Amino acid sequence: MFSPETFGQKRLKVAACILVACVTGLVSAVAAQPGMRPTANDDPALRPADYQPSGDYYDWRKTGQPERPWFHKYDQSLVMKILLAERTDEGRGCKVHLTFEQALEVIERLDRITCAAPKIVYLVGWQFNGHDSKYPAWSEVNKRLKRAQDPTALESLKWLMREGRE
């Protein structure tokens, strides 16, 4: 049987975990799927920066299959978002909540809290000046989120995608 103090401490610990998750901006796009490591053809993080799909027409009627199957089991995963940055000053400025390195720390903490349960994490605000900045264009990664050791913000984003799967 729980003593009131022990039960209260456990409730406080759970509440603190929820608060940490909210405060750190749990509002983002790295899929942490267990299992085999995807190939460069399947994994956008492993593709070169100048990658372009072939553009060939795909006729699903020939195979009876979708062009690409669903990659993730949403019904068996914890799905969440992490807010990295948001636009300010009517889109001219940017408030950074988490860099790519800090986002990985949040993902790792969440992985420990959830006992490594499968999860899908969406990154919000990684493009341009943050969330809702020039959406739906995704052609530019927010340079304010870049790691110091990477040459570009795109390389930092790809690093996070790779590391988030570990």
Instruction: Summarize pLDDT for 40-68 with one digit per residue, the tens.
Output: 455 666 666 565 566 677 777 888 876 66
Judge whether 164 and 107 are in contact, CB under 8 Å. yes
Judge whether 65 and 111 are in contact, CB under 8 Å. no
pLDDT, one tens digit per residue, over 65-113 is 766 656 677 878 899 999 999 989 887 889 999 999 999 999 999 999 9
Judge whether 120 and 74 are in contact, CB under 8 Å. yes
Residue 120 tokens, joined: 């899908």
Span 7-33, mean pLDDT? 40
Residues 155, 48: Cα–Cα separation, whole Å: 10
Residues 97, 87: Cα–Cα separation, whole Å: 11
Dihedral sign for Cα atoms in the order 41, 98, 153, 55: positive
Residue 92 tokens, joined: 């001219």
